[in-house]
A and B are shown apart, each in its own frame.
Chain A
């Protein structure tokens, strides 16, 4: 931190840290109407008038769209004209635009960390649409809370870290391959990790791909070879990521590679071993329609082009138990001593392309898959019609191997159903039209009917394919299949479906039924916690504008891991992710949040609690017993500060003073009716935002205080809130056990619960007034429910308003503020040579360091 003459502030954006300890506090408040999004509910002018009365506020300006260019320019002009040194933008969620406005103030010469936001859109206007008065009051409170916090903000230095010039791509389906190739071509080293023995993913086992119906492996095969041959790609198959540590630019990755028992370099894939292997296992590639041996290659074009041994099926690779393949292999490529091994890698960025898995047909018993042999899934159909498949490309009924004369295709199986997955699979319409066309191509006499609900042929060229299908005489019937029954003798099937355009029941007989399967998400078990939707697909940073970024810096998503999608979309997204990742790699250095913890040595009692709290090992003790925080390792979760018994850890932008000031303002009026809700920035705050975005209406009682992580909520905050008469307090964080963005913050927060409850009991505060809830970014509905339930709780007045409460160790300071309130002027803090502003009336927080130049 440097100190300079304020005059030099306007010198230019390069001098960002100039305005540091400007003695006079000049806060600019910018309430935003956001068109009608806020303005239609909240009386913004009233909020602005109110803001003018707040201590330290020097300038208030209302905008229709503050985030638009003119709005941002006005902020910059106001900073110059009025000499503002703190900026509060009262508009949308900070998750949305905090970055935008930080950049704005930075361009005007202010340190970016001196700008904060009051969320009056997601938390007010969108969720209290029918209650404008209370919404306006809440907006005022939120603005006052932000102003109180702004008053104590300190400029923070902007830091950056070096970036390792390598990328980790997880999953080598078509998306992972594309992302790897793009990055490798751009000159970066890529570590490509694939769980299966071959790359290629689902696309490699498809026969033809829509909409042009070109051969899948013919277009994918060359790409697979490119991946294998590229000098910049380090391909690791049969491997999974075991652990990831570090941060953007400096990820340390440990990969576990399973034993292959075959030397990739020595194996010529001649196939001699297969001839002698005595063990049959169901073929994974062929969807268990046929058999493979224990030593196998997934398909002829597999990359790496090498066999592998399935250790669960193999009898034993020694001459006593079996060992036939070793005997037979002339290349001596089989290595019985092969073992699982760990590989450590460094990467600057991570791209997750872990894909999806086809929906599980056995979950829908009414359609009879598994019981009736002639009901097959779309993937099984792909293998049957594939020339390399178990039947050499002829479509036959599994029951008697005859050619079916009539085929029904049932759509939306495993999709658009709240019992399996409520979303659309995005590809199954085009997929079933393709299947129908393939059948017609091979067997023009076969009757094909497609039972659809809404035929979503939305993609480029899709409509042509649909038209072609109609010309080929394929029947399209609107109605979802209710149930399928089998004729026991012929094994033919009776499909029961309502033709909804004609309101009549169809009971039609078919010789074969293909279920057009949707997708199931498999995301979420990656060692870095990335938020997932309830159906296990990764959540993007912004659904429109940052579709391949995640909430973790340096981690990108693409392909089926993000949402079910077809090949073209996967490739597009993969290239996008590679482009975004390339930006970080190419710059070489990455700016990090400057909010790392600092230890106030004069307060520290050297107990060492913080060391055990830090999930990153960022706190260490030197020879003299002094604890220090290593800035580059610290991720600013604040778990250490949450448990520090002496309150000796300074968390920039989330200091105890700031949070307590917010609590105080939140409870200045009618505290018994208020809910003080703490939300962590990565999960629960985003969950509350989602409730806003989804317009999930709930009562206006809550005053939400954001922090980086739930680990930051010390027991003191709940005590403080209750002492000030709060009706209820909510601590919310990411789901236990493993969703926490900072690994363990939520665990440490949960451990504080008994202490808080015990304190509440001693002070006769009912148990239901304090809640700990786990809310992910996808659980807006849950947030709404919690808010509604807690609003019921605060309807009953508190039995006892606290002041007379017995003092317990952690809340020693609780009474002090009220004493200090009347005579704040004395220089309690040496730095603040100041006195309170005259406007600093009873209402406003006394503990705030509201300062004014003499």
Chain B
């Protein structure tokens, strides 16, 4: 079942339905996995950050029927090595992504991700164009880089529902701070 608590505020039934159908789809994708461990032994992130174990993430979906709580999936670098090598054709990177999506909707995105999202919304980009590179471009006779327009990004945030997810997470963060 979905987590109650933080997401209780969202008494929106439809959203719950979406979450549930997403989780169901996720379970279905995960089912062929027979836990051989090729994904994990191929994962470059696992070597440096053993918290991220794609096999264990999939296992918790199969056996517990729920999205793992620890938030380790946010470490995934989306290199697709696990997808490439999975002998059962399970799309692990997609599963990890979907876990992130579901937990983000529950307000469980990690603070650094929320921070980046906020700055993306405010500035329209994650890394601002440095004056040094501007200078370099002028020297080389290259045209100016287009300026990011935060309004455009906000439109996208609204259209894709990312805005809503961000709000949920911010609210959850505040709640946590209050506790």
Task: Show the binding face of A for B, using Cβ within 8 Å.
Answer: 366, 412, 416-419, 453-454, 478-483, 496-500, 503-507
Are B89 and A480 within 8 A (Cβ)? no
Contacts of A419 in B (CB 8 A): 87, 89
Contacts of A498 in B (CB 8 A): 37-38, 40-41, 46, 53, 55
Are A416 and B50 within 8 A (Cβ)? no
Contacts of A418 in B (CB 8 A): 87-89
Give bound CA distance, A505 to B40, whole Å. Answer: 8
Are B36 and A366 within 8 A (Cβ)? no
Give bound CA distance, A497 to B42, whole Å. Answer: 8
A-B contacts, 17 listed (Cβ < 8 Å): A366-B42, A416-B36, A416-B87, A418-B87, A418-B89, A479-B37, A480-B36, A482-B39, A482-B85, A483-B41, A497-B41, A498-B37, A498-B38, A498-B55, A500-B36, A500-B40, A505-B50
Give bound CA distance, A482 to B87, whole Å. Answer: 11
Are B55 and A500 within 8 A (Cβ)? yes
Q: Closest Cβ of chain A: how far from B47's Cβ, in Å?
A: 6
Contacts of A481 in B (CB 8 A): 38, 41
Are A505 and B85 within 8 A (Cβ)? no
Q: Most chain-B Cβ atoms within 10 A of its Cβ — which of A366, A496, A498, A503? A: A498
Contacts of B34 in A (CB 8 A): 416, 453-454
Contacts of A412 in B (CB 8 A): 36, 87
Task: Select which of B39, B47, B53, B85 is within 8 A of A503 by beta carbon.
Answer: B53
Q: Closest Cβ of chain A: how far from B32's Cβ, in Å?
A: 9
Are B87 and A480 within 8 A (Cβ)? yes
Are B53 and A453 within 8 A (Cβ)? no
Q: Closest Cβ of chain A: how far from B48's Cβ, in Å?
A: 10
Q: Closest Cβ of chain A: how far from B35's Cβ, in Å?
A: 6
Chain B interface: which size bin? Answer: 10 to 19
- Asked if B122 CB lies within 8 Å of chain A CBs, one says no
Interface of chain A, main secondary structure: strand
Task: Select which of A416, A417, A453, A482 is within 8 A of B41 by beta carbon.
Answer: A482
New A-B contacts (11) at CB < 8 Å, excluding given A366-B42, A419-B89, A498-B55:
A418-B88, A480-B41, A481-B41, A482-B40, A482-B41, A483-B41, A496-B42, A503-B50, A503-B56, A505-B41, A505-B46
Q: Most chain-A Cβ atoms within 10 A of its Cβ — which of B34, B35, B37, B88? A: B37
Contacts of A499 in B (CB 8 A): 37
Contacts of A453 in B (CB 8 A): 34, 36
Contacts of A503 in B (CB 8 A): 50, 53, 56
Contacts of B42 in A (CB 8 A): 366, 482-483, 496
Contacts of B38 in A (CB 8 A): 480-482, 498
Q: Most chain-B Cβ atoms within 10 A of its Cβ — which of A416, A478, A480? A: A480
Contacts of B39 in A (CB 8 A): 482
Pairs of residues from A and B, 8 with the lowest C-beta to C-beta distance, nearest first: A482-B41, A417-B87, A498-B37, A498-B40, A480-B36, A479-B37, A482-B42, A500-B37
Give bound CA distance, A418 to B89, whole Å. Answer: 7
Contacts of A496 in B (CB 8 A): 41-42
State which residues 104-154 of B face A: CB under 8 Å.
none
Give bound CA distance, A497 to B88, whole Å. Answer: 17
Contacts of A497 in B (CB 8 A): 37, 41
Q: Closest Cβ of chain A: how far from B162's Cβ, in Å?
A: 33
Residue of A nearest to B53 (CB): A503
Q: Closest Cβ of chain B: how far from A382's Cβ, in Å?
A: 25
State which residues 1-52 of B face A: CB under 8 Å.
34-42, 46-47, 50
Q: Closest Cβ of chain A: how far from B164's Cβ, in Å?
A: 34
Contacts of A483 in B (CB 8 A): 41-42
Q: Most chain-A Cβ atoms within 10 A of its Cβ — which of B41, B87, B88? A: B41
Are B50 and A504 within 8 A (Cβ)? yes
Q: Closest Cβ of chain A: how far from B175's Cβ, in Å?
A: 32
Residue of A nearest to B90 (CB): A418
Give bound CA distance, A609 to B85, whole Å. Answer: 55
Give bound CA distance, A479 to B46, whole Å. Answer: 15
Give bound CA distance, A506 to B50, whole Å. Answer: 11
Residue of B nearest to A507 (CB): B47
Residue of B nearest to A454 (CB): B34
State which residues 84-102 of B face A: CB under 8 Å.
85, 87-89
Q: Closest Cβ of chain A: how far from B36's Cβ, in Å?
A: 4
Are B37 and A482 within 8 A (Cβ)? yes
Give bound CA distance, A846 to B59, whole Å. Answer: 61
Q: Closest Cβ of chain B: how far from A515's Cβ, in Å?
A: 14
Q: Closest Cβ of chain B: how far from A732's Cβ, in Å?
A: 27
Contacts of A507 in B (CB 8 A): 47
Give bound CA distance, A412 to B42, whole Å. Answer: 16
Give bound CA distance, A416 to B56, whole Å. Answer: 20
Give bound CA distance, A504 to B56, whole Å. Answer: 11
Give bound CA distance, A575 to B133, whole Å. Answer: 80
Give bound CA distance, A481 to B41, whole Å. Answer: 7
Give bound CA distance, A755 to B40, whole Å. Answer: 56
Contacts of B56 in A (CB 8 A): 503
Give bound CA distance, A418 to B39, whole Å. Answer: 15
Contacts of B53 in A (CB 8 A): 498, 503
Contacts of B35 in A (CB 8 A): 500
Give bound CA distance, A516 to B110, whole Å. Answer: 43
Contacts of B85 in A (CB 8 A): 366, 482
Give bound CA distance, A417 to B37, whole Å. Answer: 13
Give bound CA distance, A454 to B35, whole Å. Answer: 10
Q: Closest Cβ of chain A: how far from B79's Cβ, in Å?
A: 13
Give bound CA distance, A74 to B144, whole Å. Answer: 91
Residue of A nearest to B36 (CB): A480
Q: Most chain-A Cβ atoms within 10 A of its Cβ — which of B39, B40, B89? A: B40
Are A479 and B36 within 8 A (Cβ)? yes
Give bound CA distance, A409 to B89, whole Å. Answer: 24
Contacts of B40 in A (CB 8 A): 482, 498, 500, 505
Give bound CA distance, A419 to B90, whole Å. Answer: 12
Residue of B nearest to A411 (CB): B36
Q: Closest Cβ of chain B: how far from A415's Cβ, in Å?
A: 9
Give bound CA distance, A331 to B26, whole Å. Answer: 74
Q: Closest Cβ of chain A: how far from B41's Cβ, in Å?
A: 3
Contacts of B36 in A (CB 8 A): 412, 416, 453, 479-480, 500
Q: Closest Cβ of chain A: how far from B76's Cβ, in Å?
A: 16
Q: Closest Cβ of chain B: how far from A306's Cβ, in Å?
A: 44
With A498-B55, A503-B53, A504-B50: A479-B41 Cβ-Cβ less than 8 Å: yes
Residue of A nearest to B34 (CB): A453
Q: Closest Cβ of chain A: how far from B39's Cβ, in Å?
A: 8
Q: Closest Cβ of chain B: how far from A482's Cβ, in Å?
A: 3
Contacts of A454 in B (CB 8 A): 34
Are A480 and B37 within 8 A (Cβ)? yes
Give bound CA distance, A481 to B37, whole Å. Answer: 8
Residue of A nearest to B56 (CB): A503
Contacts of B89 in A (CB 8 A): 418-419
Give bound CA distance, A738 to B85, whole Å. Answer: 34
Q: Closest Cβ of chain A: how far from B64's Cβ, in Å?
A: 15
Q: Closest Cβ of chain A: how far from B72's Cβ, in Å?
A: 12
Give bound CA distance, A483 to B50, whole Å. Answer: 17
